[in-house]
Amino acid sequence: METPFDRELPKFKSLSQDIVAGSEKYLNEFDPWYPGFEDYMYNNFVSRDKYENLSALPDSLFLEKLSQYLVSPTGAKYASLLAFENDAKLECGKPAPKPTVRNSGAPIRFSTLYFFRFKMASIRFQHQQYVGTEEHIEAMNWVKDTIKDQDFDGVAFPMSQTYSRHGTYVNDLVL
């Protein structure tokens, strides 16, 4: 059973906010798709007064506007970070298919967060450069704890080539 948007989307928004709030110490770059999508929606289509949370939108409107955003100049860079049912592709002018679990197969240049059972999105972020393993483990644990605090229904975890390359990928990394 897939995890519904209405339960997970607010957690995803909160995760993005928490990472932005604490990222100065640990990250050089963080670029989640959701804040841009939310701005796109509130600036062009819906009122914050009526829809304080985008998860309250009717599914048909949400998927229609998600598709528009993901083919727009500002949202297109995120299209490869979402996976859709039956490997469906986005089509301009048509609602987005329902998201599902899939790895896009793209090379991972940045660390990535995956949400399994329901893959809402991958989020690219880049750690600061660290001198020693201890600093890297602290940064990795901060990301893990920040994700864990959201209590996603599915499995969510950070993944990075650096975590494994430096021997800091630990068995409890999957939350």
Q: What ranges do the domains of the chain cover?
A: 5-173
Burial bucket for residue 47 (CB in 10 Å: 0-12, 13-18, 19+): exposed
The β-bridge partners of 111 are 125
pTM for this model (two decimals): 0.74
Q: Are the C-beta atoms of 160 and 112 separated by less than 8 Å?
A: yes
The per-residue pLDDT for 144 is 86
The per-residue pLDDT for 116 is 34
Q: Which of 14-28, 58-72, 75-89 has the lowest mean pLDDT?
A: 75-89
If one compares 27 and 161, the residue with the highest pLDDT of the two is: 27
If one compares 163 and 109, the residue with the highest pLDDT of the two is: 163
pLDDT interval class at 18 (50, 70, 90): very high
Burial bucket for residue 137 (CB in 10 Å: 0-12, 13-18, 19+): middle
Q: Which of 58-72, 95-109, 138-152 has the lowest mean pLDDT?
A: 95-109
Per-residue model confidence as pLDDT tens digits over 81-139: 877 766 778 888 888 877 653 344 443 333 444 443 334 567 888 888 888 878 888 88
